[in-house]
Structure 1
Amino acid sequence: MADQLPQMLRSDARDNRDRLLEAARELFSERGLDVPMREIARRAEVGPATLYRRFPTKQALIDAAFTDELRQCAGIVRDGCADPDPWRGLCAVIRDITELNAHNQGFVDAFVTSNPGAIDFTAHRAGMLHSLAGLCRRAKEAGALRPDIVLDDLILVLMAGRGLAAAPPDVRPAAARRLSALALEAFRAEPARGTLPPPARVAPAVLANP
């Protein structure tokens, strides 16, 4: 029994950490990063002391909660930059990141917000933006991207995507596809001959919540 006690304590600690991360992801996704730490503890059904023992600062919790999203986001940028067709690669990056972020307002907040304490986010953000700048340059050289587009314009699309988290969950995928398509039409050097994705019916939700 004495040998089993440390193992049981380690198991309890892992369970508490998993519950805290799950609660943080849910609340950050729903409401952004301004959620109080005590509310995260309540959602996880643990005490504040347990929360601060596992995550001494809110930034530590943010970094841990969004590890998977950072990995996905970096993979999207890496795959887009590896595409031999830079315009196709840029389209994939904007489309896939917009759809990824539509489900998680907190991740977008963490990615676009300048926070000196977020060392990991700062490094990831700088690396991805550097890669995107190179992809934009190649797309311009290929004559596919408007010459007056700058990296800040891509950040504007990311920031605009924060609003998608307020749409009903079943509407978000269509809204993300429509938003990214509209942005790409604005970025395109030549008018497109294709059609936009079907419109997302977000007006009823907006009108129902004055």
Structure 2
Amino acid sequence: MTAQVGTRLRSDARDNRERILAVARLAFATEGIDVPIREIARRAGVGAATLYRHFATKDELLAEAFAEQMETCSAIVAEGLAAPDPWQGFRLVVERLMELHALDRGFARVFTSRLPEAVFAADRDRTLRMLLELVGRAKKAGPLRRDFVVEDLSLALMANEGIRAESPEMRVAASRRFAALMIQSFMADPVAAPLPPPVRLPLSRA
């Protein structure tokens, strides 16, 4: 009986942790990182004390909630950096980041949110170093405009975050067209190329 109770308690604790993380990811993605931790606990259906047993500080909760996004960002940038053609690698990074962000509105927070320094300090710095190296290679190769800065990509991601559509598929389609427009604007000598099909979007944010 004692073993069964212990197993159930561990299962309950695991369920609580997963529910807290799910609620936190959704809240941070849709409302920003300033959502109070007690509000996260309320939405997850647990007390603040239960939340703090799993995450001693808000920074710990942020780090865990954004861990998957950070890993995905790093993998995308690493893939772009490994491409034989730096311009094609740069294009891949822009396209993949925007497409994934269209499906997960919290995705761009890794680059565009003012997360505490303690959150992802090492991982984010490594990813940004890889991105800066890729940018330098693409500039040296010629296609990327010389005045491009990483903040321009952040601006593009922030604009991409504003896409509102009736379905995830339509958000992705709109994001692909926007990415194509941004990539052309980043070129040193822009070449007009066919864009992905347009998507009907609401004229004002709901």
TM over 0.5: yes
Separation of aligned partners in 1, 2:192 and 2:106: 36
What corresponds to 1:96 in structure 2?
96
Cα deviation, residue 72, structure 1: 1.0
Cα deviation, residue 122, structure 1: 2.3
What corresponds to 1:23 in structure 2?
23
* Percent pairwise identity: 46
Cα deviation, residue 110, structure 1: 4.4
* C-alpha contact 2:105 2:161 (8 A) present in aligned 1: yes
Separation of aligned partners in 2, 1:133 and 1:26: 30
Taking a change above 3 Å as real, the CA distance of residues 142 and 84 of structure 1, as seen in their structure-2 partners, is same
**What count of residue pairs does the alignment treat as equivalent?**
205
1:176 correspondence with 2:175: yes
Letter in 2 for 1:45: G
| TM-score w.r.t. length of structure 2 | 0.88
Separation of aligned partners in 1, 2:35 and 2:174: 25
3-state SS of paired residue (1:38): helix
* C-alpha contact 2:59 2:118 (8 A) present in aligned 1: no
What corresponds to 2:81 in structure 1?
81
Match runs of 1:1-210 below 5 Å: 1-115=1-115, 117-164=116-163, 166-170=164-168, 171-204=170-203, 206=204, 209=206
Separation of aligned partners in 2, 1:81 and 1:174: 25
3-state SS of paired residue (1:195): coil
C-alpha distance after superposition, 1:118-151 (max 9, x if no partner)? 4242222221111111111111221111122222
Letter in 2 for 1:127: R
C-alpha distance after superposition, 1:20-74 (max 9, x if no partner)? 1111122222222232323322332222221122112222111111111111111
* C-alpha contact 2:184 2:192 (8 A) present in aligned 1: no
| TM-score w.r.t. length of structure 1 | 0.87
C-alpha distance after superposition, 1:173-210 (max 9, x if no partner)? 12221221111111112232421112232234x26x3x
